[in-house]
């Protein structure tokens, strides 16, 4: 994923102010300046984490019942297991090992394999989306997605993507543990480990010029799945699409995304608040280009849960320094429980707003 090119450049400029006492004002101004569709008050000092003023009031269910369970230590072990295979770009032997690893953890579950060949700027590659389906007694599906590939090794041959792809893929494996073995009292939940999210050509993140339009050279797997589910009618049944990406950073600060559905982001924030984790959410607002876009385009309410600030000035992103020592089990637990609580709130809302 990436931010829109213009946003990324200006984030760099905003970060240049980080050592000045104006940091908070600079970041708030940055957030407002680039959230024109959803935050028209560009000079507002309102913190970015507050409920979106343009959203209709949400009919939220009462906050009762025990908090969801999520084993952060077990999820961290899954990250370590996947990273041990090494870089996992499309078409590599390591990629196949990670596919097999994910499938081995889903034995006995209802799994759909969506396999196709992607025609990319650097050749044709096999792509493998893995979908695990956990049934509910309510009509409709909530999708939780994460990509598991690392980018094509034109940039960094030792890049293992512990946070970028590893953390969220591990999180989904632990979600599967929590969902397995019972019919949910709510919507069906489908977990999607999507493939080929990363651009195959350098996208400028390592200092190279933009050689390709990112959206034409990335998101191959999720785009294929969205097209397939549109053709067979599944898209109409998807009530919400929750994306997790780069959520393992031990300094967890999940951004509010202006390319996500405002009311669904508000539900995520409500879930975080109910669990006492709101300080990790939405202190900054960015516009992300990520795996949620093909579903947004098809009218599915979507939310990208992403912490795009990975190390000071994003120094670990897409570098060999994206390793497990930068992550924490607590961050995985925070994101995992907030996703489960978000699903529980959606299950119990009398009516979900349209996109």
Q: How far is the CB of 167 from Zn ion (least distance, A)?
A: 12
Name which of 39 and 286 has its Cβ closer to Zn ion.
286
Which residue's CB comes closest to Zn ion?
164
- 34-42 — which CB contacts under 8 Å span 24+ positions? 34/7, 34/10, 34/258, 34/285, 34/286, 34/287, 35/258, 35/285, 35/287, 37/258, 38/258, 38/262, 39/258, 39/285
Q: How far is the CB of 149 from Zn ion (least distance, A)?
A: 9
Stretch that binds Zn ion, among 122-130, 159-167, 187-195, 226-234 (CB under 5 A): 159-167
Distances (CA, A) of 51 to 38, 61, 292, 340: 11, 17, 21, 20
249 binds Zn ion (CB under 5 A): no
Name which of 265 and 289 has its Cβ closer to Zn ion.
289
Site mask for Zn ion (CB under 5 A), range 97-136, x = bound: ----------------------------------------
CA 270, 271, 276, 277 dihedral sign is negative
In angstroms, the CA 172 to CA 79 distance is 11
Name which of 276 and 320 has its Cβ closer to Zn ion.
320
> What does the CA dihedral 32, 34, 40, 41 come to, rounded to 10 degrees?
20
Burial of residue 150 (number of CB atoms within 10 Å: 0-12, 13-18, 19+): buried
Name which of 68 and 166 has its Cβ closer to Zn ion.
166
Name which of 149 and 333 has its Cβ closer to Zn ion.
149
Name which of 164 and 266 has its Cβ closer to Zn ion.
164
149 binds Zn ion (CB under 5 A): no
- 108-116 — which CB contacts under 8 Å span 24+ positions? 108/180, 109/133, 109/134, 109/176, 109/180, 110/134, 110/135, 114/221, 114/224, 114/225, 114/228, 116/224
Please name which of 114, 240, 245 lies closest in space to residue 188, comparing C-alpha atoms: 240
Q: How far is the CB of 322 from Zn ion (least distance, A)?
A: 9
Name which of 68 and 161 has its Cβ closer to Zn ion.
161
164 binds Zn ion (CB under 5 A): yes
Provide the 3-class DSSP secondary structure of residue 100.
Answer: helix
Size of the site for Zn ion (CB under 5 A): 1
Q: How far is the CB of 164 from Zn ion (least distance, A)?
A: 4
Name which of 164 and 347 has its Cβ closer to Zn ion.
164
Q: In what order do the strands lie in the sheet with 254-257?
A: 110-120, 123-134, 184-194, 136-147, 238-245, 302-306, 254-257, 281-286
Q: How far is the CB of 150 from Zn ion (least distance, A)?
A: 7
In angstroms, the CA 58 to CA 315 distance is 38
Stretch that binds Zn ion, among 16-24, 162-170, 186-194, 282-290 (CB under 5 A): 162-170
Name which of 270 and 291 has its Cβ closer to Zn ion.
291
Q: How far is the CB of 254 from Zn ion (least distance, A)?
A: 16
Stretch that binds Zn ion, among 9-17, 56-64, 98-106, 161-169 (CB under 5 A): 161-169
- Enumerate binding residues for Zn ion (CB under 5 A): 164
């Amino acid at each position: 994923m990436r931010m829109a090119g213009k946003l990324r450049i200006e984030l760099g400029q905003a970060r240049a102010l980080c050592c000045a006492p104006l940091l908070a004002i600079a970041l708030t101004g940055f957030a407002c300046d680039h959230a024109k569709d959803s935050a028209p008050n560009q000079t507002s000092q309102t913190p970015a984490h507050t409920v979106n003023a343009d959203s209709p009031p949400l009919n939220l269910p009462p906050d009762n019942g025990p908090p969801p369970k999520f084993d952060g230590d077990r999820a961290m072990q899954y990250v370590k297991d996947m990273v041990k295979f090494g870089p996992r770009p499309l078409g590599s032997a390591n990629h196949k090992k990670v596919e097999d690893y994910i499938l081995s953890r889903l034995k006995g579950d209802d799994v759909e394999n969506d396999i196709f060949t992607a025609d990319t700027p650097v050749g044709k590659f096999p792509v493998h989306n893995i979908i695990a389906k956990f049934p509910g007694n309510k009509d409709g599906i909530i999708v939780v997605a994460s990509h598991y590939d690392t980018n094509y090794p034109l940039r960094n041959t030792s890049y293992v993507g512990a946070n970028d792809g590893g953390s969220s893929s591990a999180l989904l494996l632990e979600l599967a543990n929590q969902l397995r073995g019972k019919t949910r009292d709510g919507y069906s939940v489908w977990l999607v480990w999507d493939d080929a999210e990363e651009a195959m050509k350098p996208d400028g993140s390592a200092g190279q010029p933009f050689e390709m339009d990112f959206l034409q050279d990335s998101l191959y797997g999720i785009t294929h799945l969205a097209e397939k589910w549109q053709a067979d009618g599944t898209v109409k049944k998807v009530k919400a699409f929750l994306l997790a990406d780069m959520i393992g950073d031990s300094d967890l600060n999940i951004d509010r995304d202006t390319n996500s559905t405002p009311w669904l982001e508000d539900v995520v924030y409500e879930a975080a608040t109910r669990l006492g984790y709101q300080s990790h959410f939405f202190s900054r607002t960015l516009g992300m280009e990520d795996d949620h876009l093909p579903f947004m385009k098809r009218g599915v309410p979507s939310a990208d849960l992403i912490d795009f600030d990975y190390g000071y000035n994003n120094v670990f992103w897409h570098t060999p320094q994206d390793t497990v020592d930068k992550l924490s089990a607590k961050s995985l637990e925070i994101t995992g429980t907030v996703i489960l609580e978000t699903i529980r709130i959606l299950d119990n809302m009398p009516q979900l707003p349209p996109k």
